[in-house]
């Protein structure tokens, strides 16, 4: 987790290859267990769930904490609270990354004035689960390298999750239909220094050629490519016989021709 490294020009600053999945305004954040001045008091602002982390941006330009970044790999003990009296909220712990402008661990609490705490929290947990399952395992947190510039407006639309989802999961954009305000999303050329849910960005590895700019919707695969992918997914591999694999025959949309029609003969 890093402090005051995810904001620029009054907006949010994301990495190359990082995509905003959910955006929520009117969020209040509180911290406990840190004496550093930036963590004191309640903070109002905007919350972003990206492919790699959660980002909080303060609305008040005088706030000492202008931004706070929660990479999924730094979170622990995240819980969704539904009190009998009062609004739902999210709580948990986050660890500091080396070079993240603070040290140690802190407890956080996120309250959603416009609702959506449970849905946002469930999306957080699902994204963290995907990263934990598919990302590389390391003993310690990767050191954070703050963006040094230049940065620029992210290519539109910067608020477009992958149309096919992530490993079968679709972010609940129907609950959070609003996009970030215009001219408020900026991007650096630096890749993320931690893993994400979108596969190709992991521990400062750049996206592959042709992956497209952040937030861009990739072209839909052709019917032939989709059928080939479906056939590949249905293949069977036996670990006891690594030299062999069973791939089912392709499906035919029309029955194969009869012998007579294929050879030009007619039934007598």
Residue 86: is the preceding peptide bond cis (ω within 30°)?
A: no
pLDDT value of position 215: 34
Residue 50 pLDDT = 94
Report residue 21: phi and psi, to 5°: -95, -45
Residue 208: pLDDT band by 50, 70, 90 thresholds? Answer: very low
State whether the Cα torsion 147-67-47-8 is positive or negative: negative
Residues in the chain: 268
How does pLDDT run across 27-53, given as a tens digit for each residue? 999 999 998 999 999 999 999 999 999
For range 83-101, the mean pLDDT = 88
Which sign, positive or negative, has the C-alpha torsion 149, 150, 153, 157? Answer: negative
The radius of gyration of the chain's CA atoms, rounded to the nearest angstrom, is 23
Is 210's pLDDT higher than 60? no
Q: What's the pLDDT at 54?
A: 96
Helices in the chain by DSSP H: which ranges? 117-134, 223-233, 259-263
Confidence at residue 137, expressed as pLDDT on a 0 to 100 scale: 54
Is 252's pLDDT higher than 70? no
The structural architecture, per CATH, of the domain 2-188 is Roll (2.30)
Q: pLDDT at position 76, please?
A: 92
Give tens-digit pLDDT for 105-161: 999 999 999 999 999 999 999 999 998 886 655 555 566 666 666 788 887 655 677
| Per-residue confidence (pLDDT) for residue 156, from 0 to 100 | 62
Calpha distance 105→81 (Å, rounded)? 21
Ranges of CATH 2.30.29.30 domains, the chain? 2-188
pLDDT at 13: 92
Place of tokens 């996206």: 207
Cis omega (within 30 of 0) for bond into 150? yes
Query: pLDDT tens digit string along 171-188?
Result: 999 999 998 988 899 998
**Residue 56 in tokens:** 């909080």
* Distance from C-alpha of 251 to C-alpha of 141, rounded to nearest angstrom: 47
Strand-pairing partners, residue 109, are 30, 91
171, 180 Cβ separation under 8 angstroms: no
**Structural contact between residues 72 and 131, judged by C-beta atoms closer than 8 angstroms:** yes
* Mean predicted lDDT score pLDDT of the chain: 75
Would you say residue 216 has pLDDT above 50? no
Is pLDDT of 225 > 70? no
CA distances to 23, 54, 86, 103 from 138, in Å: 29, 20, 39, 19
Contact 112, 89 (CB under 8 A): yes
């Amino acid at each position: 987790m890093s402090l005051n490294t995810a904001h620029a020009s009054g907006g949010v600053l994301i990495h190359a290859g990082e995509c905003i999945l959910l955006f929520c305004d009117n969020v209040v954040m509180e911290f406990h267990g840190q004496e550093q001045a930036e963590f004191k008091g309640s903070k109002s602002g905007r919350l972003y769930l990206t492919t790699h982390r959660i980002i909080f941006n303060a609305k008040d330009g005088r706030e000492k904490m202008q931004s706070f970044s929660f990479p999924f790999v730094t979170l622990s003990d995240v819980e969704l609270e539904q009190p009998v009296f009062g609004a739902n909220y999210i709580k948990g712990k986050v660890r500091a990354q080396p070079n993240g402008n603070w040290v140690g661990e802190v407890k956080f609490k996120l309250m959603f004035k416009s609702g959506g705490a449970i849905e946002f929290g469930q999306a957080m947990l699902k994204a963290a689960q995907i990263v934990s399952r598919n990302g590389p395992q390391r003993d310690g947190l990767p050191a954070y390298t703050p963006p040094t510039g230049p940065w620029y407006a992210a290519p539109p639309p910067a608020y477009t999750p992958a149309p096919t989802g992530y490993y079968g999961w679709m972010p609940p954009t129907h609950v959070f239909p609003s996009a970030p305000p215009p001219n408020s999303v900026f991007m650096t050329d630096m890749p993320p220094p931690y893993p994400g849910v979108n596969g190709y960005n992991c521990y400062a590895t750049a996206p592959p050629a042709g992956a497209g700019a952040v937030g861009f919707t990739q072209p839909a695969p052709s019917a032939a490519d989709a059928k080939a992918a479906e056939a590949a997914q249905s293949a069977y591999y036996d670990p006891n016989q690594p030299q062999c694999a069973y791939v089912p025959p392709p499906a035919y949309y029309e029955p194969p021709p009869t012998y007579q029609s294929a050879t030009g003969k007619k039934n007598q």
